[in-house]
Amino acid sequence: MSETQPTYSELKTEIIAHRLDLKEIEAREHEKARRPWRIYDSTLLTDPEIGERKDFSFQACFASLLPKEVDGRPIENIRQYIEETLSSRNGQALGIEFGGPARQLFDGFTQGFFQKTEGVVLKDIKPRSDYEPNGGRQHKILEGDFFDIKIQREIGKWFDGEQVDLIFEKMEGGLDYLPYDFRLTMHQFSRMYAMLREGGLMFVQLPPPHHRVAGEYLGDIINDWVEGIHANYPDVLELVVHQNLLRLNKLPGAPDVLPKINLPRMQDTK
Protein backbone atom coordinates (compact mmCIF):
# COMPACT_ATOMS: atom_id res chain seq x y z
CA MET A 1 0.00 0.00 0.00
CA SER A 2 1.51 3.33 -1.04
CA GLU A 3 1.91 5.91 1.72
CA THR A 4 1.42 8.99 -0.39
CA GLN A 5 -1.61 10.97 -1.45
CA PRO A 6 -1.67 13.07 -4.60
CA THR A 7 -0.19 16.47 -3.91
CA TYR A 8 -2.10 19.71 -4.30
CA SER A 9 -0.27 20.50 -7.53
CA GLU A 10 -1.19 17.09 -8.94
CA LEU A 11 -4.82 17.85 -8.20
CA LYS A 12 -4.66 21.51 -9.11
CA THR A 13 -6.49 21.18 -12.41
CA GLU A 14 -9.34 19.31 -10.76
CA ILE A 15 -9.40 21.71 -7.85
CA ILE A 16 -9.70 24.63 -10.22
CA ALA A 17 -12.48 22.82 -12.07
CA HIS A 18 -14.25 22.33 -8.77
CA ARG A 19 -13.82 25.99 -7.95
CA LEU A 20 -15.72 26.78 -11.15
CA ASP A 21 -18.50 24.52 -9.95
CA LEU A 22 -18.73 26.71 -6.89
CA LYS A 23 -21.02 29.18 -8.59
CA GLU A 24 -23.63 26.47 -8.88
CA ILE A 25 -22.96 25.40 -5.30
CA GLU A 26 -23.34 28.95 -4.04
CA ALA A 27 -26.60 29.32 -5.92
CA ARG A 28 -27.90 26.14 -4.28
CA GLU A 29 -26.79 27.36 -0.84
CA HIS A 30 -28.55 30.65 -1.45
CA GLU A 31 -31.69 28.67 -2.18
CA LYS A 32 -31.15 26.76 1.06
CA ALA A 33 -31.04 30.02 2.99
CA ARG A 34 -34.61 30.57 1.86
CA ARG A 35 -35.68 26.95 2.35
CA PRO A 36 -33.27 25.86 5.09
CA TRP A 37 -31.74 22.43 5.51
CA ARG A 38 -34.00 20.01 7.34
CA ILE A 39 -30.96 18.67 9.18
CA TYR A 40 -28.90 21.51 10.59
CA ASP A 41 -26.89 22.25 13.74
CA SER A 42 -27.68 18.74 14.98
CA THR A 43 -27.24 17.82 18.61
CA LEU A 44 -24.53 15.47 19.89
CA LEU A 45 -26.94 13.17 21.72
CA THR A 46 -30.54 12.22 21.08
CA ASP A 47 -32.93 14.92 22.24
CA PRO A 48 -34.86 13.33 25.15
CA GLU A 49 -37.99 15.09 23.90
CA ILE A 50 -37.66 13.74 20.39
CA GLY A 51 -41.05 12.02 20.38
CA GLU A 52 -42.11 11.02 16.87
CA ARG A 53 -39.43 13.09 15.15
CA LYS A 54 -36.56 11.36 13.35
CA ASP A 55 -33.29 11.43 15.26
CA PHE A 56 -30.53 13.24 13.31
CA SER A 57 -28.12 13.56 16.23
CA PHE A 58 -24.44 12.65 15.89
CA GLN A 59 -25.18 9.82 18.31
CA ALA A 60 -27.85 8.38 16.00
CA CYS A 61 -25.65 8.78 12.94
CA PHE A 62 -22.45 7.23 14.30
CA ALA A 63 -23.77 4.77 16.94
CA SER A 64 -22.93 1.75 14.78
CA LEU A 65 -19.21 2.67 14.92
CA LEU A 66 -18.91 2.70 18.71
CA PRO A 67 -17.41 -0.25 20.55
CA LYS A 68 -19.71 -1.96 23.05
CA GLU A 69 -17.08 -1.60 25.76
CA VAL A 70 -13.60 -0.21 26.32
CA ASP A 71 -11.35 -1.85 28.96
CA GLY A 72 -14.37 -3.65 30.38
CA ARG A 73 -16.44 -0.46 30.75
CA PRO A 74 -19.65 -0.41 28.72
CA ILE A 75 -19.95 2.45 26.22
CA GLU A 76 -23.33 4.08 26.44
CA ASN A 77 -23.05 6.84 23.89
CA ILE A 78 -20.76 8.81 21.62
CA ARG A 79 -20.04 11.50 24.21
CA GLN A 80 -18.82 9.00 26.77
CA TYR A 81 -16.72 7.22 24.12
CA ILE A 82 -15.07 10.42 22.92
CA GLU A 83 -14.46 11.91 26.35
CA GLU A 84 -12.95 8.64 27.61
CA THR A 85 -10.79 8.19 24.50
CA LEU A 86 -9.53 11.78 24.68
CA SER A 87 -9.42 11.94 28.50
CA SER A 88 -5.75 13.03 28.57
CA ARG A 89 -6.83 16.17 26.66
CA ASN A 90 -9.67 17.09 29.02
CA GLY A 91 -9.80 20.89 29.30
CA GLN A 92 -7.51 21.50 26.33
CA ALA A 93 -9.23 19.48 23.62
CA LEU A 94 -9.71 21.02 20.18
CA GLY A 95 -12.54 19.94 17.89
CA ILE A 96 -13.92 20.76 14.46
CA GLU A 97 -16.91 19.90 12.31
CA PHE A 98 -16.60 20.13 8.54
CA GLY A 99 -19.97 20.95 6.95
CA GLY A 100 -21.88 22.18 9.99
CA PRO A 101 -21.99 25.12 12.42
CA ALA A 102 -21.37 22.71 15.33
CA ARG A 103 -23.00 24.88 18.01
CA GLN A 104 -25.27 22.23 19.47
CA LEU A 105 -22.73 19.51 18.68
CA PHE A 106 -20.00 20.87 20.95
CA ASP A 107 -22.49 22.20 23.53
CA GLY A 108 -23.42 18.53 24.01
CA PHE A 109 -20.03 17.65 25.56
CA THR A 110 -19.22 18.05 29.25
CA GLN A 111 -18.62 21.71 29.99
CA GLY A 112 -14.96 22.61 29.91
CA PHE A 113 -13.85 19.46 28.08
CA PHE A 114 -13.12 21.38 24.87
CA GLN A 115 -11.05 24.54 24.89
CA LYS A 116 -11.63 25.60 21.31
CA THR A 117 -14.00 24.38 18.63
CA GLU A 118 -14.94 25.31 15.09
CA GLY A 119 -17.70 24.64 12.56
CA VAL A 120 -17.17 25.17 8.83
CA VAL A 121 -20.24 25.81 6.64
CA LEU A 122 -20.79 27.41 3.27
CA LYS A 123 -23.29 29.76 4.83
CA ASP A 124 -24.63 29.76 8.36
CA ILE A 125 -28.35 29.61 7.78
CA LYS A 126 -29.26 30.32 11.39
CA PRO A 127 -27.10 33.23 12.46
CA ARG A 128 -27.26 33.63 16.23
CA SER A 129 -25.19 36.60 17.24
CA ASP A 130 -26.03 35.96 20.89
CA TYR A 131 -24.62 32.43 20.84
CA GLU A 132 -22.55 31.66 23.95
CA PRO A 133 -20.69 28.35 23.83
CA ASN A 134 -20.90 26.30 27.02
CA GLY A 135 -18.19 26.25 29.67
CA GLY A 136 -16.17 29.23 28.44
CA ARG A 137 -15.19 27.35 25.30
CA GLN A 138 -14.21 29.46 22.29
CA HIS A 139 -16.22 28.58 19.19
CA LYS A 140 -15.82 29.90 15.68
CA ILE A 141 -18.18 29.46 12.76
CA LEU A 142 -16.23 29.82 9.57
CA GLU A 143 -18.25 30.43 6.44
CA GLY A 144 -16.69 29.11 3.25
CA ASP A 145 -15.92 26.11 1.09
CA PHE A 146 -13.54 23.77 2.88
CA PHE A 147 -12.05 22.73 -0.46
CA ASP A 148 -10.86 26.30 -0.85
CA ILE A 149 -7.21 26.66 0.04
CA LYS A 150 -7.84 30.09 1.63
CA ILE A 151 -10.50 28.61 3.89
CA GLN A 152 -8.17 25.76 4.79
CA ARG A 153 -5.62 28.30 5.99
CA GLU A 154 -8.33 30.09 8.03
CA ILE A 155 -9.34 26.79 9.64
CA GLY A 156 -5.80 26.22 10.86
CA LYS A 157 -5.41 29.77 12.17
CA TRP A 158 -8.24 29.39 14.64
CA PHE A 159 -6.26 26.55 16.24
CA ASP A 160 -2.97 28.51 16.05
CA GLY A 161 -1.65 25.83 13.71
CA GLU A 162 -2.11 23.10 16.35
CA GLN A 163 -3.47 19.70 15.41
CA VAL A 164 -6.96 18.88 16.69
CA ASP A 165 -8.28 16.03 18.80
CA LEU A 166 -11.66 15.45 17.22
CA ILE A 167 -12.97 15.83 13.67
CA PHE A 168 -16.53 15.33 12.48
CA GLU A 169 -18.00 15.43 9.01
CA LYS A 170 -21.71 14.61 8.85
CA MET A 171 -23.01 16.52 5.90
CA GLU A 172 -26.14 14.45 5.20
CA GLY A 173 -27.79 16.22 2.21
CA GLY A 174 -24.66 18.39 1.93
CA LEU A 175 -22.84 15.31 0.56
CA ASP A 176 -24.47 16.20 -2.76
CA TYR A 177 -22.20 19.25 -2.79
CA LEU A 178 -19.03 17.16 -2.93
CA PRO A 179 -17.02 17.57 -6.13
CA TYR A 180 -17.80 15.12 -8.91
CA ASP A 181 -14.24 13.90 -8.85
CA PHE A 182 -14.03 11.66 -5.81
CA ARG A 183 -10.23 12.10 -5.64
CA LEU A 184 -10.89 15.60 -4.34
CA THR A 185 -13.07 14.23 -1.57
CA MET A 186 -10.35 11.79 -0.63
CA HIS A 187 -7.81 14.58 -0.79
CA GLN A 188 -9.93 16.52 1.68
CA PHE A 189 -10.17 13.42 3.85
CA SER A 190 -6.39 13.11 3.92
CA ARG A 191 -6.13 16.80 4.87
CA MET A 192 -8.46 16.14 7.78
CA TYR A 193 -6.30 13.19 8.80
CA ALA A 194 -3.18 15.37 8.71
CA MET A 195 -4.94 17.88 11.00
CA LEU A 196 -5.58 15.16 13.57
CA ARG A 197 -3.31 14.91 16.61
CA GLU A 198 -1.84 11.54 17.53
CA GLY A 199 -4.42 9.93 19.82
CA GLY A 200 -7.21 11.85 18.05
CA LEU A 201 -10.43 10.60 16.59
CA MET A 202 -12.43 11.29 13.46
CA PHE A 203 -15.99 10.42 12.45
CA VAL A 204 -16.80 10.80 8.78
CA GLN A 205 -19.88 10.31 6.61
CA LEU A 206 -19.08 9.38 3.00
CA PRO A 207 -21.48 9.19 0.07
CA PRO A 208 -23.48 5.90 0.07
CA PRO A 209 -21.70 2.64 -0.90
CA HIS A 210 -23.67 2.38 -4.15
CA HIS A 211 -22.20 5.73 -5.25
CA ARG A 212 -20.05 4.99 -8.31
CA VAL A 213 -16.53 6.24 -8.80
CA ALA A 214 -15.49 5.84 -12.44
CA GLY A 215 -17.85 2.89 -12.74
CA GLU A 216 -16.78 1.16 -9.52
CA TYR A 217 -18.83 1.04 -6.36
CA LEU A 218 -17.52 3.31 -3.63
CA GLY A 219 -18.37 0.58 -1.09
CA ASP A 220 -15.96 -1.84 -2.84
CA ILE A 221 -13.21 0.77 -3.08
CA ILE A 222 -13.51 1.60 0.62
CA ASN A 223 -13.63 -2.09 1.63
CA ASP A 224 -10.35 -2.78 -0.19
CA TRP A 225 -8.79 0.19 1.56
CA VAL A 226 -10.07 -0.91 4.98
CA GLU A 227 -8.63 -4.40 4.44
CA GLY A 228 -5.27 -2.84 3.51
CA ILE A 229 -5.28 -0.68 6.65
CA HIS A 230 -6.17 -3.60 8.87
CA ALA A 231 -3.40 -5.70 7.32
CA ASN A 232 -0.69 -3.02 7.29
CA TYR A 233 -1.42 -0.80 10.29
CA PRO A 234 -3.13 -3.09 12.82
CA ASP A 235 -1.68 -1.44 15.93
CA VAL A 236 -1.56 2.22 14.91
CA LEU A 237 -4.79 2.90 13.05
CA GLU A 238 -8.13 1.80 14.43
CA LEU A 239 -10.51 2.00 11.51
CA VAL A 240 -14.15 0.99 11.73
CA VAL A 241 -16.45 1.28 8.75
CA HIS A 242 -20.17 0.63 8.60
CA GLN A 243 -21.97 1.36 5.34
CA ASN A 244 -20.89 4.94 4.48
CA LEU A 245 -19.74 5.80 7.99
CA LEU A 246 -16.21 5.69 9.21
CA ARG A 247 -14.39 6.09 12.53
CA LEU A 248 -10.65 6.41 12.60
CA ASN A 249 -8.48 6.56 15.74
CA LYS A 250 -4.96 7.82 15.07
CA LEU A 251 -2.98 5.85 17.63
CA PRO A 252 0.63 6.45 18.69
CA GLY A 253 2.96 5.57 15.82
CA ALA A 254 0.30 6.16 13.13
CA PRO A 255 1.61 7.42 9.78
CA ASP A 256 1.62 11.22 9.36
CA VAL A 257 0.03 10.84 5.93
CA LEU A 258 -3.18 8.92 5.36
CA PRO A 259 -2.44 5.61 3.60
CA LYS A 260 -3.64 5.96 0.05
CA ILE A 261 -7.02 4.81 -1.19
CA ASN A 262 -6.64 3.30 -4.64
CA LEU A 263 -9.18 5.04 -6.81
CA PRO A 264 -9.99 4.06 -10.38
CA ARG A 265 -8.99 6.48 -13.13
CA MET A 266 -11.49 9.31 -13.29
CA GLN A 267 -12.82 9.39 -16.81
CA ASP A 268 -16.50 9.53 -16.12
CA THR A 269 -17.15 10.76 -12.61
CA LYS A 270 -20.41 12.64 -12.90
Ligand X SMILES: C[S@@+](CC[C@H](N)C(=O)[O-])C[C@H]1O[C@@H](n2cnc3c(N)ncnc32)[C@H](O)[C@@H]1O
Residues 50-69 that bind ligand X (CB under 6 A): none
CA distance 61 to 59: 5
Measured from the CB atom, the residue of 89 and 170 that comes closer to ligand X is: 170
**Does 238 contact ligand X by CB under 6 A?**
no
Q: Which of 118, 169, 120, 166 is nearest to 143 (CA)?
A: 120
**Does 122 contact ligand X by CB under 6 A?**
yes
| Interface stretch with ligand X, choices 10-18, 35-43, 73-81, 255-263 (CB under 6 A) | 35-43
**Does 41 contact ligand X by CB under 6 A?**
yes
Distinct helix (H) and strand (E) counts, the chain: 7, 11
Extended beta strands in the chain, E state: 69-70, 73-74, 93-98, 114-121, 138-143, 164-169, 196-205, 212-213, 216-217, 237-242, 245-250
Measured from the CB atom, the residue of 171 and 229 that comes closer to ligand X is: 171
**Does 39 contact ligand X by CB under 6 A?**
yes
**Does 154 contact ligand X by CB under 6 A?**
no
Q: Where are the alpha helices (DSSP H) in 148-256?
A: 149-158, 182-195, 218-232
**Does 117 contact ligand X by CB under 6 A?**
no
CA distance 162 to 171: 24
**Does 239 contact ligand X by CB under 6 A?**
no
Angle between helices 182-195 and 8-34 (to 10 degrees): 100
Measured from the CB atom, the residue of 103 and 259 that comes closer to ligand X is: 103
Residues 172-201 that bind ligand X (CB under 6 A): 172-174, 177
**Does 145 contact ligand X by CB under 6 A?**
yes
Measured from the CB atom, the residue of 120 and 241 that comes closer to ligand X is: 120
**Does 100 contact ligand X by CB under 6 A?**
yes
Q: Is 157 helix (H, G, I), strand (E, B) or coil?
A: helix
Measured from the CB atom, the residue of 96 and 171 that comes closer to ligand X is: 171
What residues contact residue 124 under an 8 Å CB cut-off, 6+ apart? 101, 141, 143
Residues that bind ligand X (CB under 6 A): 29, 37, 39-42, 99-100, 120-123, 145-147, 170-174, 177
